[in-house]
């Protein structure tokens, strides 16, 4: 073998004086030239090398240069001499051997060869093919160990290119004559993506993963599942956007993913199905990563369906109910989510249920439903936490504060209202003190509470803090700051805030900002400037609707609602300018979007009222209340028209105004009109009217251009 390596010529059997003993001795001595060091004992030989050599000699009658190199390189690699092994492997002329390997594999796997072709012997035996391809694989492993990842990937890719070229239809399942060859190819398939990762070539990683899954390598279910899992993780978390699959893989009419998320979700769903059917072991992380992928893509109901199909042993009842509640909450079905949480919380086996309590109280707080029940959930969460996790305690206190504030708006007693507001502010302050790092959610609700209690200076500080916490990326934080400034009658400062937000936001996110700017101009009496702003905003929305054809349903609905409110605002501006025809055009545009809008009927009533057509105005206000019985502006406007018309029962007018104040106690218009009612009503004292006028004046001085919430 030494002579073979040095000369590069083939050694025949009789030249070697073939016997297993002499071959072992020669192989051992040859390898010693690469691995032995002074003072070291030679390690024992791996008998596999001898058996491989014997197989090659029996089949071909000689051990050629490449095979000898492959054997010696493997021996060095097994000893841990990576550099020596690489030195041996680099002596193999791969470019010369690859064509012979292709022909040999192709002929071995050809199903129905003619007799003349059958007689022709392949240029290499399958043992020799296995030996050389294994050498190429070990060369890749050696290069990987030495940090030469690009070269390692190219070496590994050579194996796959060779096999794929020889077997374009895929690896035959009945090819079991050489399990070692199958093992080498399978190892190369799994190693190549990892090498491209280390080499920093993400598109090559994606291509190698797709190649591993699209070509029939006969890997087995477990190996295929490992590749699918690694590929899904790479698509989700690598930060690299994958190029579309090659056209060749799209010709069969199969589903072609349009993005990383779609491809990752498809892979995870396949793995989940295999796991449920028992083809692979259950992996709990699959549902975690699938939850992340489907949540990011907004497919909450798809996730809910997958969770519902899981076997009881794969996910316990408590975790299943909580995950489903999150799904329904994300889909906007908050009542269903709350019912699921109630079922989980009422289960006697569930002792530790902090997450469920916090989610239930958050639903109640955000949606302003079941306020009393929500207060119970947040209070129970605080007692169960007992100071164990201060961040969770802070969140629970924040939710308690939001719920107490919400409850304060619905109580009839003024003293109880003041008490609940005080408790709400106290809970929110405790939340801010407890949280180690400032949390935007807590800062937001503390800011809103200060603003609604008309503590505007400190509310402004929290609004600025919120903008800083969110890195200036939140449009709603800028709008809140502008509204608080408008409550201080600092309209120019508020407009500067909106301009700063417009400079930092994308064109498609400027809708609410521009609408706020228009309202600020109306507050300053700049009606024509406001019309220009609204006109520009409508043009932006029109272009956006044409450009974003694939926008989500929620985004489309939000834009349509915004457009409708803009038409209502414009109609009010034209009404103030006595441009009745323009106001009617705006209302017609609004009707085309939603004919059953309480806001539209109320605006229409205002137009009639400004023109002195009080009966028609009254009809419009009543239609608004038919659609939305708690529409505060319509309640106030109906009471005003009835008072002007006269001849109506005073109790109806009073009832309408008190209902409006029950729903919105900070509405200056409701207090003012109630004061007018008390002034004209002989059955009430003048002091009651004075108190109403004082409340109206105080609230008017600190009213924002739009409600803080």
Average pLDDT over every residue of 248-274: 78
Residue 627 structure tokens: 């659609």
| Nearby residues of 690 by Cβ (< 8 Å), 6 or more positions away | 675
Q: Please check whether residue 354 is in contact with residue 385, taking contact to mean a CB–CB distance below 8 angstroms.
A: yes
Lowest mean pLDDT among 46-50, 196-200, 642-646: 46-50
Question: In the predicted model, what is the mean pLDDT of residues 610-617?
Answer: 92
- Mean local confidence (pLDDT), 223-231: 93
User: Are 228 and 213 a contacting pair, CB within 8 Å?
Assistant: yes
581 shares a domain with 648: no
Average pLDDT of the residues of the chain: 83
What's the CA gap between 699 and 525, in Å, rounded? Answer: 20
Q: Which of 398, 377, 397, 401 is nearest to 387 (CA)?
A: 397
Q: Which of 533, 560, 595 is the last residue of a domain?
A: 595
Residue 13's pLDDT is 36
Indicate if 622 and 704 belong to the same structural domain: yes
Residue 370 backbone dihedrals phi, psi, to 5 degrees: 50, 55
Do residues 536 and 568 share a domain? yes
> What's the CATH code of the domain at 561?
1.25.40.10
**Residue finishing a domain among 595, 628, 648:** 595
pTM: 0.72
The boundaries of the domain holding residue 520 are: 506-595
* Mean pLDDT calculated for residue range 121-135: 83
- What was the pLDDT predicted at 318? 87
> Does any domain span residue 430?
no
What is the structure's pLDDT at 61?
44
Residue 357 lies in a domain: no
Total number of domains in the chain:
2
Give the number of other Cβ atoms within 10 Å of residue 530's Cβ.
23
In DSSP terms, which residues pair with 63 in a beta bridge? 11
- Same domain for 628 and 585: no
The verdict on 591 and 622 lying in the same domain is no
Give CA–CA dist 503/525, Å, rounded. 25
- DSSP letter at 388 equals S
Tell me the percentage of the chain whose pLDDT exceeds 90. 48
Q: Is 63 helix (H, G, I), strand (E, B) or coil?
A: strand
Name the strand (E) or helix (H) holding 580. Answer: helix 580-593
Distance CA(353)–CA(193), nearest Å, equals 42
| Spatial CB neighbours of 567, under 8 Å, sequence gap ≥ 6 | 586, 587, 589, 590, 593
> Percentage of the chain with pLDDT > 70?
84
Q: For position 664, what pLDDT does the model report?
A: 86
To which residue do tokens 């903008």 refer?
467
Q: In this predicted structure, what is the pLDDT of residue 550?
A: 53
Give me the residue label for tokens 């220009």: 532
- Would residue 97 count as lying in a domain? no
Residue 584 resides in a domain: yes
Which residues neighbour 434 within 8 Å (Cβ) at sequence distance 6 or greater? 390, 391, 393, 394, 397
Nearest to residue 307, comparing CAs of 335, 296, 318?
Answer: 318
Token look-up 């093919």 returns 129
Residue 11 pairs with which residues in a beta bridge?
63
What is the DSSP-derived secondary structure letter of residue 200? Answer: T
633 and 668 together in one domain:
yes
pLDDT at 410: 82
Could you report the per-residue pLDDT of 32-66, keeping only the tens digit for each?
333 333 333 444 445 555 455 445 544 444 457 78
- Per-position b or e across 442-470, b if 16+ CB within 10 A of its CB: bbbbbbbbbbbbeebeebbebbebbbebb
Q: What is the pLDDT of residue 567?
A: 94
In a domain, 695, yes or no: yes
Buried b (16+ CB within 10 A) or exposed e, 604-613: bbbbbbeeee
Predicted confidence at residue 150, as pLDDT, reads 94
Least confident range from 27-36, 204-213, 408-417: namely: 27-36
Same domain assignment for residues 628 and 581: no
Q: 626-651 in b/e burial notation, b at 16+ Cβ within 10 A? A: ebeeebbbbbbbbbbbbbeeeeeeee
Give the ranges where 506-549 is alpha helix by DSSP (H): 511-523, 527-547
Contact 418, 674 (CB under 8 A): no
Q: Do 270 and 262 contact (CB within 8 A), yes or no?
A: no
Q: Indicate if the pLDDT at residue 519 is higher than 70.
A: yes
Q: At what angle do helices 126-145 and 65-79 cross, to 10 degrees?
A: 40
Q: Does residue 542 sit within a domain?
A: yes
User: Is residue 331's pLDDT more than 90?
Assistant: no
624 and 703 belong to one structural domain: yes
Residues 6+ apart with CB under 8 A from 479: 498, 501, 512, 513, 516
Is 591 found in the same domain as 626? no
Q: What is the pLDDT of residue 249?
A: 53
Sequence-ordered list of residues with C-beta below 8 angstroms from that of 607, at least 6 positions apart, any chain: 571, 575, 580, 583, 584, 587
- The confidence band for 175, taking pLDDT boundaries of 50, 70 and 90, is low
Task: Tell me if 487 is assigned to some domain.
Answer: no
Closest CA to 151 of 102, 206, 89: 89
For the stretch 361-364, contacts whose Cβ atoms lie closer than 8 Å and that sit 24 or more positions apart, written own/partner, are: 361/396, 361/399, 361/400, 361/403, 362/399, 363/329, 363/334, 363/337, 363/338, 364/338, 364/403
pLDDT confidence tier of residue 571, bands split at 50, 70 and 90: very high
Identify which of 51, 68, 73 has the alpha carbon closest to the alpha carbon of residue 16: 68
**Average pLDDT for 4-22:** 37
pLDDT digits (tens, 9 = 90+) for 366-378: 888 899 999 999 9
Q: Are residues 519 and 584 in the same domain?
A: yes
pLDDT at 397: 94
Q: What's the confidence (pLDDT) of residue 120? A: 57
3-state helix, strand and coil shares in percent for the chain, rounded to the nearest 5 = 75, 0, 25
pLDDT of residue 590: 92
Is 512 part of a structural domain of the chain?
yes
Q: Which of 530, 561, 595 finishes a domain? A: 595
C-alpha dist (Å) from residue 691 to 636, 660, 688, 696 = 18, 17, 5, 9
Q: How far apart are CA 631 and CA 624, in angstroms?
A: 7
- Indicate if 562 and 628 belong to the same structural domain: no
Is there a single domain that holds both residue 565 and residue 630? no
Max mean pLDDT among 7-21, 400-414, 503-517 falls in: 400-414
């Amino acid at each position: 073998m030494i002579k073979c390596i040095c000369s590069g010529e083939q050694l025949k059997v009789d030249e070697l004086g073939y016997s297993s003993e002499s071959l072992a001795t020669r192989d051992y001595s040859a390898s010693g030239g690469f691995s032995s060091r002074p003072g070291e004992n030679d390690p024992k030989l791996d008998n596999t090398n001898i058996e491989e050599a014997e197989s090659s000699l029996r089949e071909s009658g000689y051990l050629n240069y490449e095979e000898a190199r492959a054997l010696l390189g493997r021996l060095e690699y097994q000893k841990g001499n990576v550099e020596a092994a690489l030195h041996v492997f680099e002596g193999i002329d791969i470019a010369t051997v690859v064509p012979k390997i292709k022909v040999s594999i192709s002929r071995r796997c050809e199903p129905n060869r003619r007799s003349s072709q059958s007689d022709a012997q392949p240029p290499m035996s399958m043992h020799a093919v296995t030996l050389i391809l294994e050498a190429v694989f070990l060369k890749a492993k050696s290069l990987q160990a030495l940090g030469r990842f690009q070269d390692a990937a190219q070496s590994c890719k050579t194996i796959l290119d060779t096999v794929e070229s020889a077997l374009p239809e895929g690896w035959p399942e009945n090819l079991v004559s050489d399990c070692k060859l199958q093992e080498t190819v399978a190892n190369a398939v799994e190693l190549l993506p990892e090498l491209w990762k280390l080499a920093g070539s993400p598109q090559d990683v994606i291509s190698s993963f797709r190649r591993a899954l699209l070509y029939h390598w006969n890997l087995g279910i477990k190996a295929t599942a490992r590749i699918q899992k690694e590929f899904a993780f790479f698509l989700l978390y690598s930060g690299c956007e994958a190029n579309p699959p090659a056209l060749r893989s799209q010709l069969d009419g199969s589903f072609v993913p349009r993005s990383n998320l779609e491809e990752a979700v498809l892979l995870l769903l396949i793995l989940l199905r295999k796991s449920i059917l028992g083809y692979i072991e259950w992996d709990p992380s699959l549902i975690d990563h699938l939850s992340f992928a489907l949540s990011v893509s907004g497919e909450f109901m798809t996730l809910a369906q997958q969770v519902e199909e899981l076997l009881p042993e794969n996910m316990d009842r408590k975790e299943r109910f909580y995950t489903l509640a999150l799904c329904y909450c994300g889909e906007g079905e908050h009542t269903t989510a709350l019912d699921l949480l109630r079922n989980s919380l009422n289960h006697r086996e569930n002792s530790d249920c902090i997450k469920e309590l916090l989610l239930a109280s958050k639903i109640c707080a955000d949606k302003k439903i079941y306020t009393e029940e929500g207060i119970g959930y947040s209070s129970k969460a605080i007692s169960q936490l007992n100071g164990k996790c201060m961040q969770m305690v802070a969140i629970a206190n924040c939710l308690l504060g939001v719920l107490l504030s919400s409850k304060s708006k619905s109580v009839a007693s003024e003293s109880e209202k003041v008490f609940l507001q005080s408790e709400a502010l106290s809970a929110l302050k405790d939340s801010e003190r407890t949280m180690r790092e400032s949390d935007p959610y807590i800062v937001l609700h503390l800011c809103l509470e200060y603003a609604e209690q008309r503590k505007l200076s400190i509310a402004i500080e929290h609004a600025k803090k919120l903008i800083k916490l969110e890195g200036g990326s939140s449009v709603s934080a800028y709008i809140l700051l502008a509204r608080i400034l408008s409550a201080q009658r600092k309209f120019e400062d508020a407009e500067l805030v909106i301009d700063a937000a417009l400079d930092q936001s994308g064109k498609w996110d400027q809708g609410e900002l521009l609408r706020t700017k228009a309202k600020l101009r109306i507050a300053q009496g700049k009606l024509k400037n406001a019309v220009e702003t609204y006109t520009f905003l409508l043009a932006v929305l029109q272009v956006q609707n044409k450009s974003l054809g694939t926008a989500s349903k929620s985004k489309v609905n939000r834009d349509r609602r915004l457009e409708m409110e803009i038409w209502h605002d414009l109609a009010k501006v034209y009404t103030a300018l006595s441009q009745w025809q323009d106001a009617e055009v705006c209302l017609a545009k609004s009707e085309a979007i939603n004919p059953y809008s309480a806001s539209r009927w109320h605006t229409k009533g205002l137009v009639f009222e400004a023109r002195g057509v009080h009966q028609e105005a009254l009809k419009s206000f009543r239609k608004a209340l038919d659609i939305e019985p708690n529409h505060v502006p319509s309640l106030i406007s109906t009471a005003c028209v009835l008072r002007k018309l006269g001849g109506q029962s005073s109790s109806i007018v009073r009832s309408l105004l008190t209902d409006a104040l029950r729903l919105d106690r900070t509405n200056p218009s409701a207090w003012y009109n109630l004061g007018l009612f008390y002034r004209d009503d002989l059955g009430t004292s003048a002091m009651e009217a004075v108190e109403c006028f004082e409340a109206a004046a105080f609230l008017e001085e600190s009213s924002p251009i739009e409600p803080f919430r």
